Structure 1
Amino acid sequence: MNNSCSHVTGECYGCFDGYWDSFCDHECNTTSYGEGCRQTCSVNCVNQLCHHETGFCNSCNESRLGDFCEIGRQQEDESGGGASILAVVGALVVILVILAVVGGIFIWRNRKQKSTEKRKDENDIHLSNWTFRFHTAPFEECEAENGEVTAASAPTNSVTDTIAVSVQELKTYIQQHSVDSHFLDQFLSVPMTSGSPQTCGVLPENIKKNRYKNIIPYDASRVPLLTVDGEKDSDYINASFVKGYMTDKAFIASQGPNDIVLNDFVRMLWEQKIDKVVMLTNLIEEGKKKCSMYWPVEGEEEFGDVSVRLLTTHVFAEYTIRHLRLSKSGEPCRHLTQFHFTAWPDKSVPESPWGLVDFHHRVMAVPGSGPVLVHCSAGVGRTGTFIGLCNLLKEAEATGSMDFQSVLWKLRQDRMHTIQTVEQYKYLHKVALVGYYTAGTIINVKDMHFRLADLESDEDNSTSSRNYKQEFDAVVEVCDATVPKIREPINEGDQTVYQNLGGTANRRKDRLSNILPNPAYRPDLTAAVPHEDTYINAVLVPNLTKNGHDILTQLPLPLTVTDFWRLVTQFNAGLIVAFAADSDQPDETVGDFLPKSETEPFENDRFLVETKHHTERGLVSEFTLTVHKKIVPGMDSSITETKKTLALLLCKTSELDPESVLELQEQISFRRPTGSSRTIYMCRNGADHCGLMCVQSILLDRLKFDQCLAVPVVVGSIKAIRPQVIPTVDQYKCLYRVLKLAYDSQNVYGNVTDVSSASEI
């Protein structure tokens, strides 16, 4: 209202008629209208549906007329008097004329029928589809929890002709249909809603309890709360029981609570004895509040009659795990684990399926007795995708196949609009493929020696569940099916795949034409002077606790030395782990970028790099570098920091046996920066040696924290970003053997003892 809002939060001080919520970005529910949505649509409107601003009825009940359906037909007839007789006579004349015209058309069409029969049939089909959509207009658009608009379909009681895909054929199936309309056709064939009654959610007293006006639970599957103080409307919350694979009420799909229902949401956790919550949205996304916080930042907080205490928080790259304790006066306290996936971008799907699969492993590893509560913002899109993944993997385990279309239909029988977009439906196929092939591959340390003996078995040993080569090949094949191909463009207009954006000028900055950065992960350099290029052949990769934090890049070419130091300074590198080019065979493609000695710094027109405290430590030369940025004409005046100090570990060997890798990892662990400072891993091609060290570092951190080996999941997550990482089965074996060596010798982190919270995770 009047463009007036809080200068801190942007929340509105008032909304125009027909709109509500903190940012006035939601229309009134379909049964309310006007200022603050406080007025209720006329009971004479069909289904009590009216325009959110004016209150005019969409259509009237039988024998009612007028904008608000306030006029009875009998009343109108009485007021019409004798004029109605004239109207009847006029109508009869019009009808006679219409009959004459129709008769003429009928005769003409009969003469043309045979010659146009085929075309007529096709047109009838198209007209029928169009008319059908027109008559379902009230359900035509759905305000998605990720901001998208999705088409709805009419209710139906079944879906036929579904195809269960064998897990052995799933990879080929995904590749075959990656560019055609197959997934779209399947998605559109399943109605968004079952047509079941939704009367409770649209009652006037419940309207504001719905985060989105057209995401309403079915009466038959909604989660009823216990009434409070005899208030009949206190039993409603926008949440639905959802079936698992061959299991009733395995899940509760819920909207993320708004402030109005915050206490009700916590009450539902208590009443339904929830011990696992899966949260798939962030609290704020693109400036909009997607979910109210139902746990304390620290300590304890009361939500109605239920107190919630935060016990522990563990932050990982793409998700956070919190342990909560719920208590209520006079009753034993309960414990709950919240799994919060933080890497699902608004209005999209995650770039890679590996993070969600790792997250799913976490959720399933924790035992639970009640239903798993899953929520995002609306509780349908991301929520439906995760529940669909759970059910598909159970189906694959039981039958060896997955019926995606049937799973989609079954979900929508319990909650409308689950899996909202075709992009989510496509993504579900990729996640299910990765989830199936990585099932059972996360090894607890207590089972390490048994499982490694199994992996060490001969390739032809039929009694082995999976050996190194088979597991490695599976990871490579799954990545091949789920990761977009990256190559140089055939011509300047070729935009069919991810490529080295920027054309010919940037291709000279790539050492190898088959190792290019995916633009989704490439760090964009900042132009400090006019027209300066922003491209560098590098990718952002996660470490254990931060997504997109560290960097893999190639040793700089003579052309890209300045770009490399721009990367170091602009992305706050605190440690560089570099594999030197072989000094016995000089490589002219590697530019000079380091000081030659403490008295001979490196210098070009943009940077001066000095070194002190050069130390030789076994396989590593350790340097302390000071990088000075030069101020040049045209440089951005906002740049004030001109000096940076960091460490460089220069690895002098490329013979990376497990003992050498472990020794290098010890040095990396000792010098690894903290806080926001990054680690840059670099080698000649930006993938092979530096990729091994990056992956091994994450695996050792997980061994320390989780007491588990998660090799396929971690390798897959990095190969999804840089496919050339871990290129051979020998490197893949090395990862396992270093973990075993580290655990047995306790050489990297000291005693690897049980972490009290890790066993729960």
Structure 2
Amino acid sequence: MSQAKMSCWAHLGATAALILMLLPVSMNSVHAQQTTDETITENSTNSIITTEQNDNDNDNDTYRVPTKPLNLTVHGVTSSTIELSWLKPEKVNGEIHGYRVYYMHSNYTDVKTHKIYEPGTPFIRFSLSDLKPFQEYNIWVKAFTWKNEGEPSDHIIHKTDVAGPSAPTILNLTCQSQNAIYLKWARPGVFWNTIDYYYINYRSESSNEYKNVEITTDKRQLEIEIPIENLTMNTMYEITLQAATRSTIDSSLIIQGEPTVPRKVLVAPNCDKIPPLMRRSSKEFSAGVIAGMVCACFAVMLAIASFVLWRPCFRPIFRKCFHTAYYYLDYPPRNVPTLQDWENSEQDGERTAVAVQHFAQHVAALHADGDIGFSKEYELIQSETGDYTVENSESAENKLKNRYQNILAYDHTRVQLLSCGGGPPKKGQDYVNANYIDGWQRARAYIGTQGPLPPTFDGFWRMVWEQRVSIIVMITNLVERGRKKCDMYWPKEGTETYGHIQVTLMREDIMATYTVRTLHIRHLKQIKKKKNGTNMGERTVLQYHYTSWPDHGVPDHPLPVLSFIRKSSNANGPDAGPIIVHCSAGVGRTGTYIAIDAMLKQAKSKGEINVFGFLKHIRTQRNFLVQTEEQYIFIHDALQEAIESGETNIESSRLMQHIQDMLCPSNNKTDPWNNLEAQYKLVTSWKPKDFHLVSSTKPCNVAKNRNIEIVPIENARVHLTPKPGIDGSDYINATWFSGFQRNREFILTQHPMENTIMEFWQMMWDHNAQTIVMLTQCDKEYPEFWPTEGKDLESDTFRVRLCGVKETVSGIVLREVAVRSLQDDYELSARIVQGPLNQERPWPHNNNPKVFVNVIQDFHRDYQNGPIVVMDRFGGIEAGLFVLLTTLNKQLEFEQSVDIYMFAKLLYMKRPGIFRSKEDYILVYQCLESLLSPKTRTEPDLYSMTNGHVNTMNETNSIQTTEQVPMDFAIKSPGMREYATVELGTDYEPDYSMTVHLDRTGATTTGNRITRTEHMLPSGGVNPIRNTGYPIHAGSHVTIDTNGYVTNGNMRIPPEGKEATYAIAPQ
């Protein structure tokens, strides 16, 4: 060896020796810490055992154990504690020394000991502390003597409350104009359940009092930006920001999170013309120090690199590392094989392609005689076992990368990852359990793969990058039936790095049946750019995650699945790579998705379908695709539904024309997607069988139905807590229905009968429902179901009390009720919102239901933990219409399209008889048309009556009657929110220019705007004035009510008679 090389290796040896000298010190420190912890735990345990064994117990029957503790009850819950109580066992069988409280969460069980120093204590209270927020705990208790541990109590399951979120991240805080600041932030990295509000606190340097702005939001908004206006020029402002979450235990409680570090910004004139680098907040000035440190570190690294390059012995090593790091500069080659001919295989005999117009008869024939035709076809497919090797999957290096040991990737179609070093890959480095799968007239249209495991995350994202994937389809939940089906391979918040691929969650849109996540991926080793300047190292990937596939079997109806497949498949551009499809194993639901998507394209392109031939073909590319006969049948049923109904999702740009064409009497088209009568027949074609109505038709339940033709089917009915020994005690005529963005968003029910009023309130109590939409008028046949003043409704477990009634001149009535437990301090606040009434015909009698629908949705934001209960006389067309309009309105806002047919058919299949005639179905289109049509005059807004918030001011909205009912227990006040400012027309401004004073508050106004944002309540607390932007009429004598709104005693300011000149200010 030359002297130069020996010198190089000597330097390396000295460095390695220094590192090895330091490692034992660090390891010994860690080991010492672990040893100390274990010793403390062991000594503590021994101490307890010794104490217990030294106790003397005079009971002779030492071999019998205490029976179970009784009446284990939860009394209070916070984010970290659950207050428990229980009674001692009926048979002690010795002297009780204490109790052990077991609590299980996420398959982990912990235990805490509660020692008893007075053995005769019959009633025990215990606080279970140090719990995790928003976590469900399974809790039970055992008594113990010095000798034995007793029987476990009955288990109770309870979830802790949410805790406050972590601090948001301020992304941008700059001066926007001479009186405004621009603020942009990202949602907190840590939160539980939802983020409901943001609070912006700001003050000038000369003021000690913060002003507050409350922003309503939800967890789907990853980034938010707003201007803060009406500031003073040439003033330095200090700003902090914090998020807040609504309590899941007490809906009136808002839990505020950690605030951001205060930031300062100067509001100066013409700041919008100053270059961005000069418009910095005070926090940004510290970036110079950080930049200096980075530059210094870079200089040191550059010096070391120069030294290494200068030494000849390191040049070959560095050259190899350089080529490895930048191997991904160019796109990988794409050698797509020729598409195989599978459409007309001679071996299939009669099982060839079926024309679209004959497919319904073909499916009916396969369904005949107990699905015997499907069974024969599927057995033939199962018997086709090709001799394909799986050597790579079975190698020792790759066995742990397979989620299931029997689901392996065929060698001839497996996706091979590229080498990181440019040369041949090392054994196992190119493996991922994934196969290319052909589509309709496109080879390798899909990649079927398993749900990624943590050791395969890096390989999965390498595959996404190398294959130019734009769409990932996931058809499993992370956990199903208590078993892990897939691991979370994407970041829950912010950014995660998987190998060389950095993945950032940009957006998450949650719908009732699926979720769409927008992911930004960046290759950390790729810096080369295209000629047009686009960065080749960054891409956007959409993950379509179907969340409503049942734990076993197949979905109840194919319509939501068809909608999901069409949207996810259409999102993949013509120049994009294959669609990655995975479930848990990557064969059953994965094969079902691929078969339906490919056959839909074949039907559209060629007018025929060949499920049998296509499935035989793709099973030669990945084993066990379409894993069960039930999935094989579901594919055919889904395709039949798609052929019969057509494309029913209508884009907003042609929606009005489509509705008018459907309603046109001269429409001579016959297909269901263009003819209303044909569509109605298809919507109502399903007929329930006896087993679908087993509960509603029981003799003990028949008398609970107003109309035996409008009843819930078994798998969609709302269940009540059953009473032991009473048959039918779990039944009520009510149906679950999923809206657009939430599963089980609605409960449709009939007006309660005299004999079902308590069952109705039991339903509200059991399912935490807090909003009731009432579309009926009360009379002898439809009695009042709420309590009256001084006369509560009471059951064995709760009491219902009327708290207040409000009514507008337009006829909207709001009733506040409280449902309070008789066993603990839990209380449920609920509101009955009775829609505008008409003596001649039911709602929507005014042909403009839009305002009422929007009001209910806006109001329900305060009570999102439970469903909306919608009732009409029979739980029929009026309630169904309200649910459909609400759902379609949300879909239109989010997707700019609506699917009337899909939601109408799903509703009918959950509550048959809801459409009693074609005219009922026509009403859906007519109301949707009115919802889309611009109106010059709108209904009065319920919110202006209940909360002082004004949406429309075209009609008088003064409160006609307000009745407050006295109570002997406190009712939790509803949460507060900031609303839009109401601005006055210019022709009325001179009348609103004088100063007025506010009674009972100590706050005053200057000019025509309220300047102080707080007032003192009688109890000494502080609430913000909600309508701070309201102009005040000269000479008005006003007060501030307990909700923080300026009022003249019977309505919010401005005084009556000026409403017609107001308009809502843009937000």
TM-score, structure 2 length as denominator? 0.51
Matched residue, 2:762: 566
On the 8 A contact 1:486/1:517 being kept in 2, the answer is: no
Residue 419 of structure 2, aligned match among 227, 230, 241: 227
Identity of matched residues, %: 27
Which of 830, 834, 839 is equivalent to 1:645?
830
- Give the drift of 1:246: 1.9
User: Quick one: structure 1 residues 737 and 370, their matched pair in 2 at CA, closer, same or farther if it must change by over 3 Å?
Assistant: farther
The one-letter code matched in structure 2 to 1:625 is V
Q: Note closer, same or farther for the CA distance 1:501–1:204 as it changes in structure 2 (3 Å cut).
A: farther
Give the structure 2 partner of residue 184 of structure 1.
375
Instruction: Check the 8 A contact 1:573/1:646 in 2, yes or no.
Output: no
Distance 2:717 2:578 in 1: 40
Partner of 2:718: 523
Which residue number in structure 2 is paired with residue 159 of structure 1?
348
Give yes or no for contact 1:569–1:644 (8 Å, CA) kept in 2. Answer: no
Alignment pair present for 1:656 and 2:852: no
Q: Secondary structure at the match of 1:564?
A: helix
Q: Could you say which residue in structure 1 is the equivalent of 2:857?
A: 669
1:570-609 residue pairs with structure 2 within 5 A? 570-581=766-777, 583=779, 586-587=780-781, 590=782, 592-595=784-787, 598=789, 607-609=799-801
Residue number among 350, 353, 356 corresponding to 2:558 in the alignment = 353
Per-residue deviation, residues 605-644 of structure 1 (Å, max 9, x unmatched): 8744425123136353322223345x4xxxxx6x653553
Structure 1 residue 719: Cα displacement: 2.2
Alpha carbons of structure 1 residues 680 and 394: separation in structure 2 relative to 1, 3 Å: same
Structure 1 pair 438–298 and aligned structure 2 pair: CA distance change class (3 A)? farther
User: 2-side partners of 1:475 and 1:569: how far apart?
Assistant: 37
Specify the SS of the correspondent of 2:755.
helix
SS at match of 1:511: coil
5 Å matches for 1:58-457?
A: 158-162=347-351, 164-171=353-360, 173-174=362-363, 177=367, 179-191=370-382, 193-229=385-421, 230-329=425-524, 330-331=526-527, 332-368=537-573, 369-457=576-664
Deviation at 1:280, TM superposition (A): 0.2
Instruction: Please give the alpha-carbon distance, in whole angstroms, between the structure 2 residues aligned to 1:231 and 1:696.
Output: 59
Give the aligned CA root-mean-square deviation in angstroms: 3.1
In the other structure, the counterpart of 1:461 is 668
Aligned-partner Cα distance in 2 for 1:278–1:552:
33
Alpha carbons of 1:189 and 1:347: their partners in 2 closer, same or farther (altered >3 Å)?
A: same
Which amino acid counterpart does residue 381 of structure 2 have in structure 1? V
Shift of 1:529: 6.8
Match of 1:364, SS state, is helix
What does the per-residue CA deviation read over 1:391-442, in whole Å, with 9 as the maximum and x for residues that have no partner? 1211221233333322322231221111111111122222223333444322
2:75 aligned residue: none
Q: CA–CA distance in 1 between the matches of 2:726 and 2:579?
A: 53
Q: How far apart in 1 are the matches of 2:416 and 2:675?
A: 50
> Structure 1's 182 and 498: CA in aligned 2 closer, same or farther, altered over 3 A?
farther
Deviation of 1:373 after TM superposition, in Å, equals 0.8
| Runs (5+) with no aligned partner, structure 1 | 1-5, 13-155, 488-494, 632-636, 752-761
Shift of 1:468: 4.4
Bigger mean CA deviation after superposition, 371-380 or 431-440:
431-440
Deviating more after overlay: 616-625 vs 253-262: 616-625
**In 2 relative to 1, CA 737–194 (structure 1 residues): closer, same or farther, beyond 3 Å?**
farther
Relative to structure 1, the CA distance from residue 686 to residue 462 in structure 2 (aligned partners, 3 Å threshold; closer, same or farther) is closer
Higher RCO (C-alpha under 8 Å, 6+ residues apart): 1
Partner of 2:740: 544
Cα displacement string for residues 461-483 of structure 1 (whole angstroms, at most 9, x for unaligned residues): 25999434156236426x52xxx
Give the secondary structure class of the aligned counterpart of 1:425: helix
Q: CA deviation at 1:718?
A: 2.0
Instruction: Report the structure, 1 or 2, having the larger strand content.
Output: 2
Change (3 A) 1:552 1:166: farther
What SS does the aligned partner of 2:411 have? coil
Please report how far the alpha carbon of residue 486 of structure 1 lies from its aligned counterpart in structure 2 after TM superposition: 4.3
Contact 2:683 2:901 (C-alpha < 8 Å) held by counterparts: no
Give the Cα–Cα distance (whole angstroms) in 2 for the partners of residues 166 and 681 of structure 1: 44
Aligned equivalents of 2:666, 2:674: Cα separation in 1: 6
CA contact (8 A) 1:624 1:646 kept: yes
Q: Deviations over 1:505-558 (max 9, x none)?
A: 122222233333222222221136774711112111112221123211122222
Query: Counterpart of 2:849 in structure 1: which amino acid?
Result: V
In structure 2, do the counterparts of structure 1 residues 683 and 9 end up closer, same or farther at CA, with 3 Å as the change threshold?
closer
Amino acid at match of 2:607: G
* Structure 1 residues 185-218: Cα deviation after superposition (integer angstroms, max 9, x where no partner): 2211213643322222222222221111111122
Distance 2:892 2:882 in 1: 15
Whether 1:742 and 2:962 are equivalent positions in the alignment is: no
What displacement does 1:341 show?
0.3
Task: Give the conservation status (yes or no) of the 8 Å contact 2:656–2:932.
Answer: no
2-side partners of 1:321 and 1:429: how far apart?
Answer: 26
Name the CA shift for 1:666/1:236 in 2 (closer, same or farther; >3 Å): closer
- 1:719 aligns with one of 883, 901, 908: 908
Q: Is the 8 A contact 1:240 1:252 kept in 2?
A: yes
Q: Retained in 2: the 8 A contact 1:525–1:566?
A: yes
Taking structure 1 as reference, are residues 271 and 734 closer, same or farther at Cα in structure 2, changes over 3 Å only? same
SS at match of 1:181: helix
> How far has the Cα of 1:686 moved from its partner?
1.5
Aligned partner of residue 294 in structure 1, secondary structure = coil
Give the partner amino acid of 1:622.
L
Where does the alignment leave 5 or more consecutive residues of structure 2 unmatched?
1-102, 110-344, 528-536, 942-950, 953-1067
Counterpart secondary structure, 1:410: helix
Q: TM-score, normalised by structure 1?
A: 0.70
Tell me: CA distance 1:314–1:521, structure 2 relative to 1, closer, same or farther (3 Å). same
Tell whether the 8 Å contact from 2:712 to 2:733 is kept in structure 1 after alignment.
yes
Measured against aligned partners, the alpha-carbon deviations of 1:728-749 in whole angstroms (never above 9, x if no partner) come to 4434343334344333428799
Contact 2:778 2:784 in 1 (8 A): no
CA contact (8 A) 2:490 2:503 kept: yes
Larger radius of gyration: 2
Deviations along 1:153-186, one digit per CA (max 9) or x if unpaired, are xxx9953321544444544554561633222222
Deviation for aligned residue 1:704: 1.5
Distance 1:504 1:453, change over 3 A: closer
CA shift in 2, pair 1:537/1:417, >3 Å: same
Q: Deviations over 1:539-580 (max 9, x none)?
A: 111122211232111222222211111001111111111222
Question: Which residue number corresponds to residue 680 of structure 2?
Answer: 473
CA distance in 2, matches of 1:677, 1:527: 20
Tell me which protein shows more helix as a share of its residues.
Answer: 1
Q: Which amino acid aligns with 2:844?
A: L
User: In 2 relative to 1, CA 452–366 (structure 1 residues): closer, same or farther, beyond 3 Å?
Assistant: same
Q: Closer, same or farther in 2 for the Cα pair 1:364/1:699, shift >3 Å?
A: same
Task: Find the aligned partners of 2:846 and 2:884 in 1 and give their Cα distance.
Answer: 14
The separation in 2 between residues aligned to 1:396 and 1:650, in whole angstroms, is 47
In 2, distance between residues paired with 1:474 and 1:513?
21
Native 8 Å contact 1:544 1:702 kept in 2: yes
Q: Contact (CA 8 Å) 1:561, 1:591: kept in 2 or not?
A: no
